[in-house]
Structure 1
Amino acid sequence: MSIWVRISDFVADRATTALSGLVESVRTVFAGDPATRRRVAFSIAMIALSAKMAKADGIVTVDEVDAFREIFEIPADDARRVAGLYNLAKQDVAGYEAYARQVAGLCGSGKADCPLLIDVLDGLFHIAKADGVVHAKELHFLTEVAEIFGVSSTEFERVVARHVDAGHRDPYRILGLDRGVSHGEGRRRYLKLVRDNHPDQLIARGLPEEFVKIANDRIAAINDSWELIEPELRRG
């Protein structure tokens, strides 16, 4: 059974016309199945926040909708279910802050730089840049969401660096390295990032398998950044 069937059935059982109360319900309904609970909660978070981001920007472009479908690799049979969930989120009167706070609670109170929440941000950036640029209103929205998520400014800058090309991407920012770092230290950091962001690791912490494109894109950015600075670090 696909994750979209599980979510659609979950929403139907609650007979709700809003998604804003569902994240909390996920905790209890799927209490005995933590893997499914994480997948359902993450997917609802992505649907809700991407729909709210589209409203914040003022328009919903075809590119943004296609990007949402792309990162989730939605089967044709499930497309109508996902569209219905997306429309529920757009129509919900609850503000994005309410959604973001509920999603932040999935990582526990006061937990900074929660990997699952950074995964959500990566997905939102992927959708935001689908039309070729992350617009000012979208960046403001994403900055506010990151603050609610408890993501540090340093970590948020790394996320931004992976997606926003301000003339050139800074590979040091993407890898979280200071200039002047030794080759050995840089390589250790690079290998740790590759391990931590392997698609299997992301799935283990709650990303649906349908979301694996984000994991692959992140690994590609990490590898590209290392290839750029590795020769320089070797020369020392």
Structure 2
Amino acid sequence: MSIWTQITAAVSALAKGEPLSAVFAQLRTPPERSIAFTIAVIALGAKMAKADGLVTRDEVMAFREVFQIAREDEAGAAKVFNLARQDVAGFEDYATRVREMFGAGHEALGDLLEGLFHIAMADGQYHPNEDEFLKGVADIFGLGEREFRQIRSRFVPEAEADPYSVLGLTPEASMEELRAAWKTQVQDSHPDRLVARGLPEEAIKMAEKRMVAINRAWKDIKDARG
């Protein structure tokens, strides 16, 4: 059974008139979290699309890149997207329910925020409303300012100048500290680690961009320090 078949089943199980955000209360166990993760990215992505005022073709294509949506599954993904857009509940309710489902401090929350950045930057522009939206989601998820900037620096061109922020450290850090941070992030980005913490296999490709940024930052620092 594909993840999209499972998502369709989870959405169909909602009671009449029940908002899409209610689905997260039913998907708390680890095997079901990959379903919830996918719904969360699509739903919060839909809320973010409303934040910047429009849905571009690039943003729609970004969903397909992150989740590798097959043609036959597009209708199911579109249904989740539209349900979230039509829901009167704000993004705060969705983000809060997702945090409660995974638990405060869960690594998947950072992965989810990364997916939203991928979608936000799909059209090549980073709208101020998107920045405000993503910062609000990060706050609800319990992600600190440094972690938020660390993720943003991997996606927003004007934020990429500092390779130290990509590794989550400052220029004052020693080479040993920087090397350790680089190794840790590389290990944390391994597909097996991502699946273990709730990401669907369809979203593992999302980590490729992260790995490129991490390795580039480490190389830039090594080159700068000789």
TM-score, with length taken from structure 2: 0.94
Superposed counterparts of 1:84-163, under 5 Å: 84-108=79-103, 111-112=104-105, 114-163=106-155
Q: Report what 1:203 is aligned to.
A: 195
Structure 2 letter corresponding to 1:228: D
SS of 2:158 mapped into structure 1: coil
Number of residue equivalences: 225
Superposed CA offset, 1:18-54 (max 9, x none): 3121111223xxx4xx22x110111111111000000
Identity of aligned residues (%): 48
| Counterpart residue number, 2:20 | 19
In structure 1, what is the Cα distance between the partners aligned to 2:6 and 2:185?
A: 32
Distance 2:52 2:223 in 1: 41
* Amino acid in structure 1 at the alignment position of 2:89: A
Task: Please state how far the C-alpha of 1:183 moved relative to its aligned partner.
Answer: 2.4
Return the alpha-carbon distance in structure 1 between the equivalents of residues 35 and 215 of structure 2. Answer: 30
1:35-46 equivalent positions in 2, closer than 5 A: 35=31, 37-46=32-41
- CA separation of 1:42/1:154 partners in 2, compared to 1, >3 Å: closer, same or farther? same
Runs (4+) off by over 6 Å: none
Q: Distance in 2 between matches of 1:158 and 1:167?
A: 9
Q: Does the 8 A contact of 1:162 with 1:169 survive in 2?
A: no
Inter-partner Cα distance in structure 1 for 2:88 and 2:21: 9
Give 1:19's aligned amino acid. Answer: L
Q: Distance in 1 between matches of 2:15 and 2:100?
A: 24
Matching of residues 203-222 of structure 1 within 5 Å: 203-222=195-214
* 5+ residue gaps, structure 1: none
Kept after mapping to 1: 8 A contact 2:42/2:81: yes
Q: TM-score, normalised by structure 1?
A: 0.90
Question: Residue 232 of structure 1 aligns to which amino acid in structure 2?
Answer: A
Structure 2: give runs of 5+ residues left out of the alignment. Answer: none
Q: Matches of 1:166 and 1:231 in 2, distance apart?
A: 21
Residue deviations 1:55-85, cap 9 Å, x none? 1111111111111111100011111111111
Query: Shift in Å at residue 149 of structure 1?
Result: 0.7
Q: RMSD over aligned Cα, in angstroms?
A: 1.5
Aligned to 2:66: 71
Other structure's SS at 1:20 match: helix
